[in-house]
Amino acid sequence: MIKIDPINFNLNSGEYGILIGDHLNWVKGYAKETSIRVIKFCFEALKLSKITLGVILDNFNAVLIYNKIGFKIEVSSIF
C-alpha cells in the first residue's frame, strides 16, 4: 500500500507513506517501482511541488530506496 496523505493543495504538497506487510515481498523492487509511478502521478497530474515522508534513519533499506527515488534527507527534531 502506498499513500500520499494528507495532501495540502494550498501548499501543493503531500506526505508519502508505504507499507509492504508481507516480508516475502521485500527486496524485490516493488516499493521502488510503485513509488516512482505514484510520485510521478502526484507531480504531473496533481501538480504537487513537494512530497515529504518520515523515516527512522536506522531503517537503512527504506532510506536507501528513498534516496534512489529522489528524496533528500532533511533532519528535524521534535521535542
Kindly list the domain boundaries of the chain, sorted by start residue. Answer: 2-68
How far apart CA 71 and CA 49 sit, in angstroms, is 13
User: Looking at 10-14, 19-23, 55-59, which range is the least confident one?
Assistant: 19-23
Residues 6+ apart with CB under 8 A from 8: 14
Identify the residue with better confidence: 24 or 52: 52
Put simply, whether the predicted model's pTM sits higher than 0.85 gets the answer: no
Q: What's the average model confidence in pLDDT over 60-78?
A: 84
Contact 15, 6 (CB under 8 A): yes
